[in-house]
Chain A
Amino acid sequence: MFQVIRRFATSVSNVADIVIIGGGPAGLTLGTALKNSPITKHLKIHLVEGGQIIEPLTSFLETPPPNYLNRVVSLTPSTIGFLDSIGAWSHFNQERTQSYDDIVTYDGVSGARMNFEHPNIATMVETTNIQAGLLSRLNELNSQQEVKLVIQEDTKVISIAKDSITQWPTLQLSNGDSLTCRLLLGCDGYNSPVRHFAGIESRGWSYNRWGVVATLKFADTEFRFPTGWQRFLPTGPLALLPLPNGYTSIVWSTTPELAEMLLSLDETEFLSMVNAGTRLSTEELSMIYDLAKSKSPDLLEQIQWRLNLFADKLKPADEEDFPLQVAEIVTGSRARFPLKLSHADTYVEDRVALVGDAAHTTHPLAGQGLNMGQEDVKSLVEALERATSRGLDIGNSLALEPYFSERWPKNHVLLGVVDKIHKIYSTDFAPFVAARSFGVDVLNSLGPIKDFMVGTISGNSKR
């Protein structure tokens, strides 16, 4: 079992090889991968997490919650391949995951669409499922090995300083202990204290958009293969991603105003609004938004009437061009998070490395954020394995540089591409719409290019 260090009466000074700050997917994957590797498993590793994770994650697997949680991510086959290679994938609750073969993106203004097809192009997994599966695998590894990874949960980092003699990072923890390490890994999110300690700048901008999430259920009108839908509206894309049993997780990226409006609607209104968002024209939507903002009692009626009109005009052959209508919502699943782009100037400094959101954040429209973080973990673990087998001090920049030079350029390109897609679709200015729609139509019919795009979206995995 874990060695869980809670509060001590007297303060203790610990020394570890690696301290991972952050028990999210990045930190847990990193810890699991390092324990799984025969080359690095002998290293003394501590994972420090400010919140409580052990009990919630353990009970997630023992007694799974009745409803799907609203924090869901799309995993590429490459990510799943990596999670499998470290022995963690089999610990996930597989029944709660949904793999799909189809992605359809369509233009909210012109209707131009692209269709990506590939077996297991992506898999939807709840973030908590990922963390729980990793924790379970970590548990298993700890029980098999002498040197155990120590999880210090419910422990915040008060301050970080460099030891005056060795220059090793020393952390003061909220339980009074101090923890010194050879290598400090920042998996501590967008506001990363580790990044600040290392003096690394992060550049980017806020998109001035919010992602509204909710867990909904499709109407039981007909059978559809699980598909990922994304409609590019001028205010931001509306994505419907498949969950098991006809459920769907939506991410509606939109302006702060509209996000507030969406969260203020009652459940029936919200469901109608989502259906409107997937079908009605941008002019109609504008009008509907105004009705909603002014809290008009006719809102529901208006939307329904327009949706009926739309259904009447729709040819049966074109029905499958749109997702099914949504009919139910999991109460309390509506939430929102701010969208921003950021990229750290570097991922490594003396005795510090950044992974995941601490290093970069992106728009969710391409489903790449968490996957980029997983590729970071894979690259960093390889660099640490190499350095360890060469007897290097793993905190030394010589040991860490290969990780930075492998990941930074790739991440930079992907962040840039996603940013451009967001910008291209953020307008309804006719010439731009025409150009992008033409581009989409052309790309959609070019086999080799689409194969390349599918390969990139799915992480080029050989699975």
Chain B
Amino acid sequence: MYPLRRQFSHVGRLLQQSKLTATSEIEMSHFNQLASTWWDVNGPQRILHKMNLLRMDFINDTIKSHLKLNKGITNPEEQIYVPPFNVDNVLPKEIADRINGEQEIRRQQLWQQLKLDALDIGCGGGILSESLARLPVVNRVKGIDLSTEVLEVARQHKELDPMVREKLTYELKAVEDLDPKTEQYDVVTMFEMLEHVNYPAEVLKAALRHVKPGGWIFISTINRDLISWFTTIFMGEHILKIVPLGTHTYDKYINEKELGQWVEDGHENPDLDDLRKQFEVAGSKGCVYLPCYGWKFTDNAEVGNYFMALKRRE
């Protein structure tokens, strides 16, 4: 839940010293504690593991629902019928089922042909990065984070699974330090990240540079409202203590409307080089954590936690 965000980390150098100074002893034990609990599904990071399920659902559903079923098919015989209305309410059930069935088959075919490159910004211990790497449609994944300890956790863990070992790489880098010419991705993710940085707009701008045409940015963060304060800070940190004290700062929460507005502002910016002009908000979904059950999608993205997808034009 809390990728340690220290821009200038001295810890890496300290750990390399053969002498164990007092400072590095604390850091070592802190690292060891992190390492052992980050990936414990029943441990302190359980909420994060549960949220990962929704993250993957959101990514899968968003990309699949935006696949162009008749892309590149000019022969009308081969085209799939995509009516401009919702068939389920208008046509008889059998016909609606057939139309939906054909669409689903084509959608599956197109989905299975994808070969996506993904960048996970603020990857932490690698929970999302590994899930992405395991998908057959994902070609490779790069995870970046600014904390050496947490990256070490991620690197060690990926060695345990042959399915992710080859497809996944980790780098200790900030997104603004990546080369936009060579580091281009189909999918860029920034989950539970924006509410922890000091200049979210700058980080977002930097992230936009790494999205291929037709590619995606997936974001999750928290709205700045009473419900969020109640659930994530009051209940989460103070009462139930499921989240370490001080993880979240209320002023840093970003409203869904504000994010959408930020993209709009780019469209209206007279500066033609503004990358935001190429992006649209493709969808957003709220979610809420129910103790003993897990995370659940809600219809209201303007209250509490939420996901958002931005798509770049082809």
Contacts and interface: CB of A to CB of B under 8 A. Distances in A.
Given A396-B41, A397-B41, A391 B56 contact: yes
A389 B41 contact: no
A315 B77 CA distance: 70
Contacts of B163: 17
B41 A391 contact: no
Interface in B110-163: 112, 130-136, 138, 160-163
A15 interface: yes
Contacts, number: 42
A267 interface: no
Contact of A390 (B41, B56, B138, B162): B56
A393 B53 contact: no
Contacts of A42: 136
A165 B156 CA distance: 11
Q: What 10 A-B pairs are tightest by C-beta distance, nearest first?
A: A391-B131, A390-B56, A391-B134, A166-B160, A391-B135, A398-B41, A391-B56, A390-B53, A42-B136, A397-B41
A38 interface: yes
B49 A398 contact: yes
B247 to A, nearest CB: 22
B126 to A, nearest CB: 12
Nearest to A401: B41
Contacts of B41: 396-398
B7 interface: no
A161 interface: no
A393 B134 contact: yes
A330 to B, nearest CB: 46
Contact of B133 (A15, A388, A391, A396): A391
Nearest to B41: A398
A391 B57 contact: no
Contact of B132 (A165, A389, A391): A391
Contacts of B52: 390
B42 interface: yes
Contacts of B32: none
A388 to B, nearest CB: 8
A389 B41 CA distance: 19
A397 B162 CA distance: 19
A390 B136 contact: no
B60 interface: yes
Contacts of A396: 41
A392 B60 contact: no
Given A42-B136, A398-B49, A398-B53, A392 B162 contact: no
6 contacts: A38-B108, A388-B134, A391-B130, A393-B134, A396-B41, A398-B53
A182 B60 CA distance: 24
Contacts of A182: 161
A42 B57 CA distance: 20
Nearest to B46: A398
Nearest to B134: A391
Contacts of B130: 391, 393
Interface of A: 15, 17, 38, 42, 165-167, 182, 388-393, 396-398
Given A166-B161, A389-B60, A389-B135, 9 more contacts: A42-B136, A388-B134, A390-B52, A390-B60, A391-B133, A391-B135, A397-B41, A398-B41, A398-B50
A343 B56 CA distance: 34
B130 to A, nearest CB: 7
A242 B63 CA distance: 52
B10 to A, nearest CB: 31
Nearest to B136: A42
A391 B128 CA distance: 9
Given A38-B108, A398-B49, A398-B53, A393 B60 contact: no
A392 B131 contact: yes
Contacts of A391: 56, 130-135, 138
A38 B104 CA distance: 13
Nearest to A393: B161
Nearest to A163: B160
B162 A15 contact: yes
A397 to B, nearest CB: 6
B189 to A, nearest CB: 12
Interface in B40-83: 41-42, 49-50, 52-53, 56-57, 60
A397 B112 CA distance: 27
Contacts of B132: 391
A306 to B, nearest CB: 59
A389 B131 CA distance: 9
Given A389-B60, A390-B53, A390-B56, A397 B131 contact: no
B143 to A, nearest CB: 14
Most buried by A among B53, B57, B138: B53
Contacts of A397: 41-42
Contact of B160 (A165, A389, A392): A165
B115 to A, nearest CB: 14
Contacts of B136: 42
A390 B133 contact: no
A393 B136 CA distance: 13
Contacts of B160: 165-167
Contacts of A389: 56, 60, 135
Nearest to B141: A391
Contact of B131 (A165, A166, A390): A390
Contacts of A393: 130, 134, 161
Nearest to A396: B41
Interface in B199-254: none
A392 B161 CA distance: 11
A260 to B, nearest CB: 50
A393 B132 CA distance: 11
A268 B138 CA distance: 69
